[in-house]
Chain A
Amino acid sequence: MNSKDEKHIIIAGFGGQGVLFLGTTLAEAAMIEGKNTTWIPSYGAEMRGGSANCYVTISNDEIPSPIFDEADYGIFLSKAALNRFEKTVAKNGIAILNSSMTGENKSRNDISYIMEPFTDLVAKSSETRLLNIMALGLLIRKTGILAKDSVLEALKKISQAKKADFLRFNIDSFEAGYNLVKETIKQTSKC
């Protein structure tokens, strides 16, 4: 972890899962909140299929480099993404896994894992169909790096340019992800 209040987030998966959109929404929300932010994707040939990833930094200070070695938080939506980036999560960091694809194996004991079968969850529902935004909701609820309202505003800003349905799916998916934590907390407190 770095000494500044900078937060580093790596989002990785494969093309089509909305990895870059998730990152853009996060950066947009950070900007809405008046913070500094950078976003950088994997670019070039890599984008035309196969893996996709992006690096997001959120800070109150100037951000030196958009690329970093260690992430405070990692969102891994595929097995390949987990294999490649799990090691980049900093000690005591959090890894959010799409367990439908990654499985539930915890290969490190110095980070915490949050596992949700996002692919299966979105397959069950016609409303909360966006697994990337569901993962974003979970990230925001779990870490509090940004206010929920900032993210909702960012989603509105980005989605409005497209269409109303798209915004609704986004918001429903975000709420579903956000509330996943509530259930997790309840479950934990029960046992």
Chain B
Amino acid sequence: MTSKILMKGNKAIAQAAINAGLECYFGYPITPQNEIGEFMSDEMPKLGRTYISAESELAAVNMLIGAASTGTLSMTSSSSCAIALMQEAISAMATAEIPGVIISVMRAGPGLGNITPSQGDYFQATKGGGNGDYRTIVLAPSTINEAVELTYKTFYLAFKYRNPAMLLADGMLGQMMEPVELKPFDLKIPDSSEWEADGIGEGNNKRPFRKLVSLHMQGNDLILLNEKLQRKYGTIQENEVMYEKYMADDADILITAFGTVARVAKSAVEKARSLGIKAGLFRPITLWPFPSEELKDAAKGKKTILNIELNEGQMMLDAKAAIDGVCPIELLSRLGGAIVKEGEIIEKIKELSSKYTCLKVISDNPSKNESQDSSRGHIKC
């Protein structure tokens, strides 16, 4: 029997960060992620590591810039309206190529909103509220076990690419408990000795000074930096995409969903199959880099995509761009802290199944369908 522990998502994430070798935690309280800071305040001092309860989120994220600049594994954690306060610093980290890790446990917005679970910060996480052409690596777990695994990965990717990286969970995942297997940290944090601001040394051991800055006033420095960053983002897009497909290959209706919504969708897929409807699931795990090519491939030949989110279709914009019209896409959304129920998904699948039944007739007749791609195939019958 595996040694499973019944653990809250927030605590599991905090423990995973410690396992990964976290040296510095900076945070300011906000529900629904308070257990992260609470756990850190207990555990980090015991290990001789640093826990600082910052005076504000702005302070916390700037402490993160400072600590991570020295190549130290560091993180902050917060939620929605307080992650909003950190956007300037995230853009600065991306520009100065500082591997700060941010845990974002979403609550409902906009504004201060409330503390109920939501996915309303997909844009905030993947597009960023900071300025300029920067990218944040964003990983979205759907179970607590996966939250542990992806917390490890977030630290690894931040250091591998010298880039801010974010674990994006929601209040439900943060607050719930389920049995979790805390696997040991099995990744090697990439070496930072070539770039970290660790002091120039003394006497004969002095090395040239290094600077990690986000202001680039000289000549065409900023042009060159942007080009370099874009090349890096291209490499990340090429190498780091993660996604899960579930009963997707032969599906007629493909659901796209991330995070906790995907676990409800998965169950709905099984129920739909038991009703004779071929449903499947495509779950992006990296929200940036978004699995665009992979989704486009998966979408080919589908009658429709059903995109489900606890926001008004924020990920759907990426999904739409990705599938580029190979099939239609529809939205099922819940806002303001409402969650989507399995029954509602099944009803929607049934509705789509009858709506697109005519498609089957068209696509079953190759002579009529050959010159038509399936996106145009869903003409009204």
A: residues with CB less than 8 A from B are: 3, 24, 27-28, 31, 34, 36-41, 43-45, 62-67, 69
Number of interface residues of B (CB under 8 A): 25
Which of chain B's residues has its CB closest to A3's CB?
B271
Tell me which of B1, B4, B176, B263 has the highest count of chain A C-beta atoms within 10 A of its own C-beta: B176
CB distance from A157 to the nearest CB of B (A): 9
CB distance from B357 to the nearest CB of A (A): 24
With A40-B172, A65-B342: A24-B264 Cβ-Cβ less than 8 Å: no
CB distance from B53 to the nearest CB of A (A): 19
Please state if A69 and B176 are interface contacts (CB–CB under 8 Å).
no
| Contact sample, A vs B, 21 pairs, CB 8 Å cutoff | A24-B6, A28-B6, A31-B4, A31-B6, A34-B1, A37-B6, A38-B178, A39-B176, A39-B177, A40-B175, A41-B175, A43-B31, A43-B115, A45-B31, A62-B266, A64-B266, A65-B172, A65-B260, A65-B264, A66-B176, A67-B172
Please state if B341 and A69 are interface contacts (CB–CB under 8 Å).
yes
Partner of B172, one of A44, A45, A66, A69: A66
Give CA–CA (A17, B172) in the complex, Å.
Answer: 24
Give CA–CA (A45, B342) in the complex, Å.
Answer: 28
Please state if B342 and A63 are interface contacts (CB–CB under 8 Å).
no
Please state if B271 and A66 are interface contacts (CB–CB under 8 Å).
no
Contact mask for chain B residues 81-94; partner A; CB cutoff 8 A; 1 contact, 0 none: 00000000000000
CB distance from B274 to the nearest CB of A (A): 8
Q: Which residues of A contact B115 (CB under 8 A)?
A: 43-45
Give CA–CA (A3, B4) in the complex, Å.
Answer: 27
Q: Which residues of A contact B341 (CB under 8 A)?
A: 65, 69
Q: Which residues of B contact A28 (CB under 8 A)?
A: 6
Q: Which residues of B contact A36 (CB under 8 A)?
A: 178-179
Please state if B263 and A64 are interface contacts (CB–CB under 8 Å).
yes
Q: Which residues of B contact A3 (CB under 8 A)?
A: 271, 274
